[in-house]
Structure 1
């Protein structure tokens, strides 16, 4: 029985996939906590779509796809942060404008780039079983930078999440804090694209944190639970993918969604069944 459980992890490609999947899940859990607390799920979707033109342009110019996607995502994130400071516009409206424009740009660029189909499929659905040693190093390095920034800016993120106007009155640069969070979301999404792909990356950013939010009222505990839920789901998804020859990214998202539904039903204080009893 134990041999069956550990057999998948004896392969080098599965070991690489495991490292990247767990690292991506931890990053998504930490950054996703701030996204959920601020009600910013839409920004994750926007950034995931805004990396698309960067990837398309990088492909046409024969540059690094991840770098192209990250550049486009960061530019879009900063533009959103600047534009959303206008109080007559709600943040979700600004996000909707720019993520649609970015995705449209990607479609236009892609229409003039024959031969992009294979790369596009990997971009949309992930390629975690094709991870290289260089990819692992990139993910771990980028992940360490994101976690360091998250720790450094944690109190500022929380202050803005609780009350933007009070944070601004106390001297905090709310625009810079917003832009920093958007850029972190962009980097996490680009890192996670290899694990679950562009279509499903929002689920890994939001769902583990949402499940953790149902389990606790304490921010510190939530920031521990979200990465644990995400990492556990990633490991389970990979194992099921190897065992049944199905898409790893899709299975990972289905597992974490199942965890969320269980929490929604039976969470100790906030579960539906718990409140009915």
Structure 2
């Protein structure tokens, strides 16, 4: 009997893969302040999944196709001078969810596959789910690794990146598509709504422990893996929903870091408030707004990737 024949072992491997991929992409979501976009993408995939269940197509393909259309919509609308990314994202969120509801009503309500996609079912993960997650995860991590400097540069100084001759719009669209792909493979495991916590939570926690992007990226991935594995173990031991327990573990890790980390509340009350912007070393591009409230605002990012030689 193969090690993967056990449902618990398959779920454990799926959880570890999702934790690593979500943690890695989550840091870029945090850097570019794309939290609202990621939330909207969970709604934008809804009509694609609903249509796939009605026609018998693969749920991943349906959700992914709907997400691609959503990404193109956001990039296209946000290129207009009188519109911004927030406006385009809000339209996509509302329209996507409304279309999903309309398709759902036409198909006489939820079926088993659609309900599993919406609420998550990590303990029933199949070999197909594992293969899809592994394939998508490998592509996402390879692209993030190959274009790490370009993505970070665009987060801090898009105008400077454009002046340097980089394809800014193409890089932005590529990053949005990576976020879409991660959400599509995460949703069947923890549900479309809780997928947000797995993307944002580990990255936000890592931000409190370190101010270096190069260190925050692997730390966010490690925290994602730890949260998924611990949450899965809790769900099996106490017969609870895996998506819910994973999210609670992520929340516990974040709250702990918020209090005891080097950039948490306790450290803040011991020293004067730092700068209100994220600044870079001398010779690097411009600064961007900092993450967090005035009480918990971390130190400025130290971005070695953009320091000139």
- Scaled to the shorter chain, the TM-score interval is over 0.9
CA contact (8 A) 2:47 2:100 kept: yes
Following superposition, the deviation at residue 11 of structure 1 comes to 7.5
Unaligned runs of 5+ in 1: 1-8
- Separation (CA, whole Å) in 2 of partners of 1:187 and 1:119: 19
CA contact (8 A) 1:82 1:175 kept: no
Unaligned runs of 5+ in 2: 271-309
Alignment-derived partner of residue 8 in structure 2: 14
Q: 1:10 to 1:174 in 2, by over 3 A?
A: closer
CA contact (8 A) 2:118 2:191 kept: yes
Alignment-derived partner of residue 40 in structure 1: 34
- Separation (CA, whole Å) in 2 of partners of 1:157 and 1:209: 16
Following superposition, the deviation at residue 116 of structure 1 comes to 2.6
SS in 2 for 1:199: coil
Which one scores higher on RCO, CA 8 angstroms, separation ≥ 6?
1
Q: TM-score, normalised by structure 2?
A: 0.84
Following superposition, the deviation at residue 115 of structure 1 comes to 5.4
- Separation (CA, whole Å) in 2 of partners of 1:177 and 1:158: 11
- CA deviation digits over 1:118-151, x for unaligned, max 9? 2332122111111111221111111111111111
Alignment-derived partner of residue 300 in structure 2: none
Alignment-derived partner of residue 176 in structure 1: 170
Following superposition, the deviation at residue 89 of structure 1 comes to 1.8
SS in 2 for 1:198: coil
> Structure 2 matches for 1:7-86, cutoff 5 A?
12-86=6-80
Q: TM-score, normalised by structure 1?
A: 0.93
- CA deviation digits over 1:60-94, x for unaligned, max 9? 11111111001101111122112212232221121
CA contact (8 A) 2:183 2:195 kept: yes
> Structure 2 matches for 1:39-188, cutoff 5 A?
39-114=33-108, 116-188=110-182
SS in 1 for 2:194: helix
CA contact (8 A) 1:78 1:182 kept: no
- Separation (CA, whole Å) in 1 of partners of 2:111 and 2:30: 34
More helix by share: 1
